């Protein structure tokens, strides 16, 4: 059967594929359908024709899978925030474990039995410590509105999350279950306040309006709570009135910040920042270490799961007194600090200037004296000169971005022959690619997936490597 673009077809979903899409087969041809789960029988429309597969849009669930459940959120079918709410959490864990296992076998050429079942989260919802809501003058229409024969006005004060694949349209949220419930209540309050007081939403095309984002951070281990109001203009009279209104309604807020982004860039990071209430940061912990988290600083989004991930990484490192540890792609140094006992010294290497500054600040704040940080691109900085200065590593931690490690870094690791390597990954496919090269020199002993983002297809993984004899 030749599946053409636009063709409607009935499919049986047989597996969960990459990026959470359901997989069907038609005469051996793979068809990927978002919003489905193994066991579903569906009607779908082919929307993309590729050489070796097709991509389809779900039109109707003809026979639901026994694994399918009713999503908690009314926006689940259209919001890109959490695309797996229709799957029971234990099944999510199974599918994610299998996803990592598939990458390890198919891409890495390794035995899939080294992959353990993913470590699940204690909280399936309300687990995020940060939400960045966007505001726009254009809202995303519902399916009924899109199919309507009559003109539907999409102009509105829309506050929520970007519709999947659209930079200009915002899904005007009526609920959200990713962060603590107070998070959405604050967003809803800001939206109502702005409408009542004639404060305009930002217009992406016209570069007009005022409100751009509402970013909310809360601490897992303290009662600290931050609201970051991102605006297109600097109007402190408006901001002071909104701050008072927020504090009157939500007395638990400990700090309010105004980031002013008066550029065309869609980022929530302002060109400059003003503290409207409180210290301008919140305080949280990972393990025994304390971190001051400013509005635009990086911090693991799921604190409780980050602690589990770090404990696994530390166990895999098998640290001993006198060990020299290198932490590649160290970010703001959270994992470097976590590895600092009982190591002799930990060296963190990171490309981003502000991250290195934050890492040094975090080490100083926690009074950790055996950790150093240097700035640079990994493929350029990870040299013999660095080894000569800081000592040859006994243990190496690498936590690269989604693209994985640069080939030069992989080659350097094979040359260095570090006794123990711990590879932390947010993308098991690129991790498997790197492990395929490293397995010539290192024994890949175990891979432990860790679910940092329930209700999504995303999965982290930690691999334990030991130098071959």
User: Is 469 labelled as part of a ligand binding site?
Assistant: no
Asked if residue 37 lies in contact with residue 65, where contact means CB atoms within 8 angstroms, the answer is: yes
Q: Is residue 149 marked as binding? A: no
Pairwise CA distance, residues 329 & 425, whole Å? 11
Instruction: Report the alpha-carbon distance of residue 390 to residue 375 in Å, rounded.
Output: 14
CA of residue 465 relative to chain centroid, distance: 25
329 annotated as belonging to a binding site for a ligand: yes
198: left (phi over 0), alpha (psi -120 to 50) or beta: left
Of 73, 330, 414, 426, which residue is the catalytic one?
Answer: 426
Please check if 27 is assigned to a binding site: no
Closest CA to 164 of 226, 295, 284, 76: 76
Quick one: the chain helix, strand, coil %, rounded to 5? 25, 30, 45
Q: Pick from 77, 75, 79, 61: which is nearest to 24 by CA?
A: 61
Residues 6+ apart with CB under 8 A from 315: none
Ordered alpha helix ranges (H), 278-390? 303-317, 334-338, 353-365, 378-381, 384-390
Structure tokens at 442: 């290192």
Distance of CA 348 to the CA centre of its chain: 22
* Residue 426 designated active-site: yes
Q: Which residues are identified as catalytic? A: 426
Q: Would you list which residues are annotated within the binding site for S-adenosyl-L-methionine? A: 300, 329, 350, 399
Q: Would you list which residues are annotated within the binding site? A: 300, 329, 350, 399
């Amino acid at each position: 059967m030749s599946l053409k673009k636009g063709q409607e077809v009935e499919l049986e979903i047989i597996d969960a594929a990459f990026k959470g899409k359901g997989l069907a087969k038609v005469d051996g041809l793979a068809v990927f359908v978002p919003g489905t789960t193994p066991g579903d029988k569906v009607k779908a429309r082919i929307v993309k024709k590729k050489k070796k597969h097709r991509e389809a849009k779900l039109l109707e669930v003809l026979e639901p899978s026994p694994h399918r459940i009713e999503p908690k959120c009314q926006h689940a079918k259209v919001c890109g925030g959490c695309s797996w709410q229709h799957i029971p959490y234990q099944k999510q864990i199974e599918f994610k474990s299998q996803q990592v296992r598939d990458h390890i076998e198919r891409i890495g050429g390794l035995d899939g039995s080294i992959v353990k079942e993913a470590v699940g989260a204690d909280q399936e919802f309300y687990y995020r410590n940060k939400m960045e809501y966007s505001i726009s003058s254009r809202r995303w229409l519902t399916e009924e509105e899109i199919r309507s024969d009559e003109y539907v006005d999409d102009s509105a004060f829309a506050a929520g999350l970007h519709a999947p694949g659209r930079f200009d349209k915002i899904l005007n949220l009526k609920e959200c279950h990713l962060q603590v419930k107070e998070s959405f209540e604050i967003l809803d309050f800001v939206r109502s306040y702005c409408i009542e007081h004639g404060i305009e939403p930002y217009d992406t095309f016209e570069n007009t309006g005022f409100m751009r984002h509402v970013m909310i951070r809360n601490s897992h281990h303290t009662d600290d709570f931050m609201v970051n109001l991102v605006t297109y203009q600097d109007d402190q009279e408006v901001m002071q009135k909104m701050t008072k209104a927020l504090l009157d309604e939500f007395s638990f807020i400990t700090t309010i910040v105004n980031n002013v982004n008066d550029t065309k860039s869609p980022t929530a990071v302002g060109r400059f920042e003003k503290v409207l209430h409180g210290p301008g940061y919140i305080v949280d912990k990972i393990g025994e270490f304390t971190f001051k988290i400013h509005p635009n600083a990086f911090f693991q989004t799921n604190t409780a799961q980050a602690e589990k991930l770090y404990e696994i990484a530390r166990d895999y490192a098998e640290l001993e007194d006198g060990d020299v540890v290198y932490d590649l792609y160290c970010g703001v140094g959270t994992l470097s600090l976590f590895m600092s006992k009982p190591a002799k010294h930990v060296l963190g290497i990171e490309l981003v200037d502000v991250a290195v500054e934050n890492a040094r600040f975090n080490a100083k704040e926690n009074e950790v004296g055996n950790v150093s940080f240097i700035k640079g691109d990994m493929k350029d900085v990870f040299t013999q000169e660095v080894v000569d200065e800081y000592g040859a590593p006994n243990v190496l931690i690498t936590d690269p971005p989604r693209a994985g490690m640069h080939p030069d870094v992989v080659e350097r690791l094979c040359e260095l022959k570090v006794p123990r390597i711990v590879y932390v990954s947010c993308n098991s496919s690129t991790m498997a690619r790197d492990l395929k090269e490293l397995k010539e020199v290192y024994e890949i002993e175990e891979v432990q997936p860790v679910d940092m983002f329930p209700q999504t297809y995303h999965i982290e993984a930690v691999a334990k490597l030991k130098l071959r004899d």
